Amino acid sequence: MFGRIKNDIQVIHKRDPAARGLWDVLLCYPGLHAVIGYRLANGLWRREWYLLARIVSHIARFFTGIEIHPAAQIGNGFFIDHGMGVVIGETTQIGDNVTIYHGVTLGGTSWKKGKRHPTLQDGVIIGAGAKVLGPLTVHANARIGSNAVVVEDVPENTTVVGVPGRVIMGMNQAPLSGSPLFPAYGQLESMPDPVAKAVMCVLEQVHHLEHRLQTLEKKEPDAAPDSQGKGP
């Protein structure tokens, strides 16, 4: 457990340009404090000390504003940036080197027991305010844009935005921790709007049909009556 915590500290230091040192990360990052609380609570949960695990989890939530159920499964290199308002449900599974921002919810959509929360594979990035709901899978190196609502599986190496979430593009390369490809808030420099694109396509089609109608009207013979009131 302590090895994982040490790795979490090093990952944050490498990944966040605002981190000025390891002590800065250790003392001033609530996302790290929440993960440390989770590691302790998860160890207790796996030993079937359920009530004590929930108490530790509740204390961590009180001090950090981040709620992580102790039964969730979280891999190495997990980074919660800023963190306030993050909720991670009981049956959530998170791989290695995953990054999420404040206001993210990994929630369930069923009252039934069993798998009801998302699975995030390695390298996933979820932007601020996004909601990932249900027992879906966000595949490796996918990006979820800020405030997106995701209710279906997300393919590998793709970017999803909007409500409901829509895949807008794939990525040529997977983002690596600490590399220039790391996208703050899961956004791209030029983020297309799929709804606006659809509206533009409709407007272009309407313009094309209007042009064809005008052309056809010009080709019709003049059927207007002459000055004597008689037809042609």
| Statement to judge: residues 216 and 137 lie in one domain | no
User: Which residue has better confidence, 143 or 19?
Assistant: 143
Q: Label residue 49 by pLDDT band (50, 70, 90).
A: very high
| Statement to judge: residues 24 and 74 lie in one domain | yes
Is the CA virtual torsion 90, 91, 93, 99 positive or negative?
negative
| Statement to judge: residues 186 and 201 lie in one domain | no
Which residues, listed in sequence order, are joined to residue 135 by a DSSP beta bridge? none
Q: Is residue 231 part of a domain?
A: no
How many distinct structural domains can be found in the chain? Answer: 2
CATH number at residue 139: 2.160.10.10
Q: Is residue 227 part of a domain?
A: no
| Statement to judge: residues 217 and 151 lie in one domain | no
| Statement to judge: residues 123 and 15 lie in one domain | yes
| Statement to judge: residues 204 and 117 lie in one domain | no
Predicted TM-score of the model (pTM): 0.74
- pLDDT of 36 above 90: yes
CA 21, CA 1: separation in Å to the nearest integer?
22
Burial string for 36-65 (b: 16+ CB within 10 Å, else e) reads bbbbbbbebbeeeeeeebbebbeebbeebe
| Statement to judge: residues 54 and 135 lie in one domain | yes
| Statement to judge: residues 80 and 195 lie in one domain | no
Sort strands 158-161 and 166-170 into parallel, antiparallel or unpaired: antiparallel
Per-residue model confidence (pLDDT) at position 179: 46
| Statement to judge: residues 209 and 139 lie in one domain | no
User: Are 134 and 116 spatial neighbours (Cβ–Cβ below 8 Å)?
Assistant: yes
Range(s) of the domain holding residue 138: 2-190
| Statement to judge: residues 64 and 44 lie in one domain | yes
User: Are 165 and 205 spatial neighbours (Cβ–Cβ below 8 Å)?
Assistant: no
Q: Is residue 230 part of a domain?
A: no
| Statement to judge: residues 147 and 202 lie in one domain | no
What's the mean pLDDT in 135-150?
92
CA 195, CA 149: separation in Å to the nearest integer?
15
